[in-house]
Amino acid sequence: MSEEFVQPLLQWYRANKRILPWRDKNNAYYTWVSEIMLQQTRVEAVKPYFTRFVTELPDVNALAECPEEKLLKLWEGLGYYSRVRNMQQAAIQMKEKYDSRLPEDYSLLLSLKGIGSYTAGAIASIAYGIPVPAVDGNVLRVMTRITENPEDIMKPSLRKKIEQEILEIIPKDCPGDFNQAMMELGAVVCVPNGQPKCEECPVQNFCMAGLHKTTEKYPVKAPKKPRNIENRTVFVIRDGESTAIRKRPSKGLLAGLYELPNTEGHLSREEALKYAESMNLEPLYIQELPQAKHIFSHIEWRMTGYLIRVSSLEQTDARGILFAKKKESEQKYAIPSAFGAYVRYMKEEIK
């Protein structure tokens, strides 16, 4: 692995880096929040979430003390809610042990809840100038192309090997810039799915796949297992004032979040009415809603829905049902985007 590409890479980064709300702020908390948000979400989508989050919760103490409902509401739409729950646990650890700061030590960062080698490396190098690698999916892709590495990109052993290779070349005086340059190169030049822009690439002369015109072969990915398909029926059950929602169990998919009542299978109109009656409700009106799909990492929900107007939600004897007023559904309860196609019927006028 050649060290020679470090300088051209850094020069390119310093001349071309994107301006981002968390970049060049010298704030470890900002680096942490942004890196966790970016794990499953695109940069453009993260920007407004990041700004809102750090305005509401500007430091470790504010995050540690934030009520759960508010925390989940701030995360609503980003998905993978365990990320923000883990962040709060880590913030509590920092409050108790590290004077409410992110520790300036790679191993201590790694010991915090929800912080793995990538995030610890990003915080340590970007915020504290510690020369450790930060290997995310972008960096894995760039490195497997540069070295024409034929191993499966999902293998933990490949990540370890690449971390070791980077450790050997990372510049001691600007490790944060180097790591960000690698990520930036992967995000805007050495792009996934399709053609990397090799003619614009600052490290083209050091890249084996670029030189051999074999970029389409890298990274190597083992075929994914197919997702499980689950059919579900979602209910928007309303009286004049409110919509029925309930809290999901504290473990498993979308743990502890609020949801519209739903059940397995695609129910017919008659079955849907029976469902409402089984909750001891009196249906006055039913409307079939458009079908929708939501993809989780291992499961795909294929949903159908019904809007059911009932005389009074308060008659229900179903356990765990809450009555959300129009405003509350926007401001108080975090309903995950899996139900996004049906949430708007909580507010629409019934004709």
Residues near ligand SF4, by CB under 6 A: 142, 145-146, 189-190, 196-198, 201, 203-204, 207, 209-210, 215
Nearest residue (CB) to ligand SF4, 176 versus 210: 210
Annotated catalytic residue, options 3, 35, 76, 163: 35
What's the min distance (Å) between Cβ of 42 and ligand SF4? 19
Find the residue with minimal CB distance to ligand SF4: 210
Q: Give the H or E element holding residue 208.
A: helix 208-212
* Of the candidates 109, 107, 105, 67, the residue with the CA atom closest to the CA atom of residue 88: 67
Nearest residue (CB) to ligand SF4, 122 versus 207: 207
Nearest residue (CB) to ligand SF4, 133 versus 196: 196
* Of the candidates 217, 42, 219, 203, the residue with the CA atom closest to the CA atom of residue 141: 219
Q: Give the DSSP letter of residue 309.
A: E
What's the min distance (Å) between Cβ of 188 and ligand SF4? 10
The amino acid sitting at 147 is T
What's the min distance (Å) between Cβ of 150 and ligand SF4? 15
Among positive and negative, which fits the CA dihedral 114, 120, 121, 125? Answer: positive
Helices (DSSP H) in 76-192: which residue ranges? 82-97, 106-110, 117-122, 128, 137-147, 156-169, 175-188
What's the min distance (Å) between Cβ of 205 and ligand SF4? 8
Distances (CA, A) of 14 to 26, 167, 181, 289, 301: 16, 21, 8, 51, 44
What's the min distance (Å) between Cβ of 148 and ligand SF4? 10
Nearest residue (CB) to ligand SF4, 207 versus 244: 207
**Do 272 and 308 form a contact (C-beta atoms < 8 A)?**
yes
Nearest residue (CB) to ligand SF4, 85 versus 145: 145
Distances (CA, A) of 57 to 84, 320, 333: 12, 30, 18
Take residue 243 and report the two structure tokens written for it: 């919509």
Taking the C-alpha atoms of residue 92 and residue 214, their distance in angstroms, rounded to an integer, is 48
What's the min distance (Å) between Cβ of 140 and ligand SF4? 12
Residue in the block written with tokens 């129009």: 326
Taking the C-alpha atoms of residue 303 and residue 234, their distance in angstroms, rounded to an integer, is 7
Take residue 52 and report the two structure tokens written for it: 């809102």
Q: Give the H or E element holding residue 286.
A: strand 283-295
Nearest residue (CB) to ligand SF4, 187 versus 245: 187
Q: Is 241 a catalytic residue?
A: no
> 103 exposed, middle or buried (CB, 10 Å; 0-12, 13-18, 19+)?
buried
What's the min distance (Å) between Cβ of 153 and ligand SF4? 14
Nearest residue (CB) to ligand SF4, 9 versus 109: 9
Residues serving a catalytic function are: 35
